[in-house]
């Protein structure tokens, strides 16, 4: 595993993290490990989460309000569900320093950018999406190496400040991520097929298995084969986050879902009419895609991609 970038050229000295779940707490830990001179302030709307974060020493300071958390920040990262971005941004509008850079970690970019810029007019808003995570959530679920050798997609709006964009990119490189730039709308279509649709399918399959009256719950659990177990892992992801993702990226998800439905119908016909060659060709092609993912280093047979959880 390659070490994170040792460059600290971001220029950020005081980072505020709004939302202390898996991603927010992992950012806090990663900054502490790889950028120890940077002061980190955290805030979460849930007082129980704030108390847990305080108890485990997650950040240098845990603020009691969103406004207090950003008063001296030069970089603010929203790590809240995409449906909550606008409201969370509005909470800091009166206290955000004029020269602070604002970003986020949401997996929908067009809607998030619009929400952030509407709530924070004139702010340097540079949205980003670290493509990393586990099915776990909460401040205790994060770990410093979550972003190592994972992609972070930065999606600046048109006319964005170029220095602010580079500072955000360098921040993620310092945490070990590979950085890619994309237009927000293109990002949303790519993630609709690579992330959002697979989650939708997983939720559906697990729900279908649960609803089958002739199969008891104990049998579904007892006889779960590898494929079903993989789907249950995905379907265990945070329900609030994924509800907001599907609603925020509605058009791209519906488009990809329509394409998937058409392909599924073709597969159904092939099975019904015994078209073995057609099935074999499809499975051979998709197997090659799996091998490509492994060759790109985007998966590993070990838990959490083989990453260490050492702080």
Kindly state whether residue 123 falls inside one of the protein's structural domains: yes
Tokens of 35: 């950028």
Kindly state whether residue 176 falls inside one of the protein's structural domains: yes
The half-sphere exposure of 199 on its side-chain side, counting CA atoms within 13 A, is: 19
Of 218, 223, 245, nearest to 234 by C-alpha is 245
Residues 178 and 244 in one domain: no
Give residue 262's domain range.
187-273
* Whether 139 contacts 25, CB under 8 Å: yes
Kindly state whether residue 293 falls inside one of the protein's structural domains: no
Q: Is the pTM of this model over 0.85?
A: no
pLDDT digits (tens, 9 = 90+) for 54-85: 999 999 999 999 999 999 999 999 999 999 99
Residue with tokens 């050229």: 9
CB atoms within 10 A of CB 131: 19
Our CA angle for 186, 173, 96, nearest 5°, is 80
Domain boundary at 152, 182, 212, which?
A: 182
Helix%, strand%, coil% for the chain, nearest 5: 50, 10, 35
Of 259, 155, 147, nearest to 197 by C-alpha is 259
pLDDT digits (tens, 9 = 90+) for 85-132: 999 999 999 999 999 999 999 999 999 999 999 999 999 999 999 998
Tokens of 201: 């399918």
């Amino acid at each position: 595993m390659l070490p994170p970038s040792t460059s600290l050229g971001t220029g950020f000295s005081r980072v505020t993290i709004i939302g202390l779940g898996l991603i927010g707490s992992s950012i806090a830990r990663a900054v502490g490990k790889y950028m120890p001179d940077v002061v980190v302030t955290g805030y979460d709307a849930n007082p129980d989460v704030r108390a847990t974060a305080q108890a485990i020493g997650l950040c240098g300071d845990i603020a009691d309000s969103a406004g207090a958390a950003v008063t001296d920040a030069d970089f603010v990262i929203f790590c809240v569900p995409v449906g909550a971005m606008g409201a969370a941004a509005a909470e800091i509008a009166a206290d955000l320093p004029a020269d602070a850079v604002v970003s986020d970690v949401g997996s929908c970019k067009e809607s998030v950018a619009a929400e952030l810029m509407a709530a924070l007019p004139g702010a340097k808003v540079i949205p980003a999406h670290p493509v990393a995570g586990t099915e776990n959530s909460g401040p205790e679920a994060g770990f410093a190496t979550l972003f190592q050798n994972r992609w972070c997609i930065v999606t600046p709006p048109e006319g964005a400040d170029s220095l602010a964009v580079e500072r955000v990119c360098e921040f993620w490189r310092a945490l070990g991520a590979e950085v890619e730039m994309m237009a927000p709308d293109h990002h949303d279509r790519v993630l609709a097929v690579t992330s959002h649709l697979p989650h939708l399918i997983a939720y559906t399959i697990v729900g279908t298995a649960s609803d089958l009256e002739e199969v008891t719950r104990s049998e579904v659990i007892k006889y779960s084969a590898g494929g079903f177990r993989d789907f249950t892992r995905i379907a265990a992801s945070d329900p609030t986050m994924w509800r907001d993702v599907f609603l925020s990226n509605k058009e791209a998800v519906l488009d990809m879902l329509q394409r998937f439905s058409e392909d599924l119908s073709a597969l159904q016909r092939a099975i019904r009419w015994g078209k073995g060659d057609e099935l074999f060709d499809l499975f051979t092609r998709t197997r090659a895609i799996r091998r490509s993912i492994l060759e790109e280093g985007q998966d590993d047979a070990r838990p959490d991609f083989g990453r260490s959880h050492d702080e």
